[in-house]
């Protein structure tokens, strides 16, 4: 009774080994669409269920990507990122520099080492909305207050998983400078700290609250997260020198591609 199951496992392993060999020798390249389950079953002399198990196994290993029941392709490996809290010091130190110096590179590019011009996608979507409850509370705003929601999407290569963050700024605060409401001015040289500087706001501190959990199906699709990989969620709250929260940013980071580095400079005794 166990022989068919053993054969099925062996057949799936045979398909996995064959596909891995093709990926390693370059016959199948990142982004290439895979044959259908039926075509794989015919090519390797196994049934469709066995071929499907092989594909599911390779998706779990992060080798293949694609939704269940849809097209499958060789996964485009995500860039490894290192996120340091010292990034905020670098951003603030650049605020009052000339634009030619501020525009050389941003802290986000420093995370991955990929220049903006090399990205396959770099999009900013703006919308003025009523603040969701949790954002309203984080910004200490009364009910019904509007915020500027900015959604940033970046993708380093075609068919690669996206990186995405969502920023919220009080609309009454930023509306004093119409340029801050214009997504065509992105990427803004110097980032958010310089944008706030144009309306007279200096940041005093930034609090990153880090949690983790499993991604939603939509997040798995957008970010190209293999099954079983958790999502690290950072809620970044920026405070002005007056002690007021002026920006909230939600930053989801798949755990298979991120390293969080926090350096704490301690005061010396002498």
Domain count, the chain: 2
Is the peptide bond between 148 and the residue preceding it cis, with omega within 30 degrees of 0?
no
Among 210, 248, 216, 250, which Cα is nearest to 232's? 210
In tens, the pLDDT along 195-213 reads: 999 999 999 999 999 999 9
Last residue of a domain, one of 19, 52, 74: 74
148: CATH: 3.40.1410.10
Last residue of a domain, one of 15, 43, 74: 74
67 and 95 fall within a common domain: no
Which of 15, 48, 74 represents a domain boundary (last residue)?
74
Output the CA–CA distances (angstroms, integers) from residue 69 to 37, 81, 152, in the order listed: 10, 31, 29
**End-to-end CA separation in angstroms for the chain:** 76
pLDDT value of residue 103: 81
pLDDT along the chain (270 residues), means of 10: 52 93 96 95 94 94 90 94 92 91 75 84 96 98 98 94 96 96 95 96 97 96 94 98 98 96 90
**66 and 93 together in one domain:** no
Which pair of tokens denotes residue 125?
Answer: 């979507």
Structural domain includes residue 269: no
> What pLDDT score was predicted for residue 3?
42
d(CA 127, CA 181): 9
- Determine the structural domain holding residue 174 and report its residue range: 81-261
Statement to judge: residues 98 and 230 lie in one domain? yes
Instruction: For residue range 127-162, list pLDDT tens digits in order.
Output: 999 999 999 999 999 999 999 999 999 999 999 999
Same domain, 45 and 85: no
Q: Would the pTM of this model clear 0.85, i.e. be above it?
A: yes
pLDDT at 184: 96
Listed in sequence order, the residues at least 6 apart from 116 whose beta carbon sits closer than 8 Å to its beta carbon are 106, 109, 122, 187
Contact 176, 151 (CB under 8 A): no
What pLDDT is recorded for position 1? Answer: 36
């Amino acid at each position: 009774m166990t022989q068919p199951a053993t054969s099925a496992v062996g057949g799936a392993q045979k398909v996995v080994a064959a596909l891995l060999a093709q990926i390693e020798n370059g016959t199948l390249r990142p982004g290439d669409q895979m044959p259908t389950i039926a075509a794989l079953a015919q090519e390797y002399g196994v049934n469709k269920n066995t071929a499907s198990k092989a594909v599911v196994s390779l998706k779990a290993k992060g080798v293949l990507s694609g939704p269940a029941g849809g097209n499958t392709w060789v996964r485009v490996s995500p860039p490894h990122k290192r996120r340091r809290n010292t990034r905020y010091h670098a951003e603030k130190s650049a605020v009052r520099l000339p634009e030619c110096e501020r525009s050389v590179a941003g802290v986000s590019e420093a995370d991955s080492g990929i220049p903006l011009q090399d990205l396959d996608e770099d999009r900013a979507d703006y919308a003025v909305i009523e603040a969701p409850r949790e954002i309203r509370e984080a910004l200490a705003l009364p009910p019904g207050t509007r915020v500027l929601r900015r959604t940033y999407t970046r993708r380093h290569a075609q068919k690669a998983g996206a990186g995405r963050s969502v920023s919220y700024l009080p609309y009454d605060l930023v509306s004093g400078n119409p340029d801050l409401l214009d997504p065509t001015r992105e990427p803004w040289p110097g980032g958010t700290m310089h944008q706030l500087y144009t309306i007279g706001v200096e940041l005093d501190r930034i609090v990153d609250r880090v949690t983790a959990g499993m991604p939603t199906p939509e997040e798995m699709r957008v970010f190209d997260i293999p099954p079983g990989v958790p999502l690290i969620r950072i809620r970044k709250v920026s405070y002005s020198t007056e002690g007021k929260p002026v920006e909230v940013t939600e930053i989801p980071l798949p755990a298979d591609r991120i390293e969080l580095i926090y350096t704490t400079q301690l005061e010396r005794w002498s």
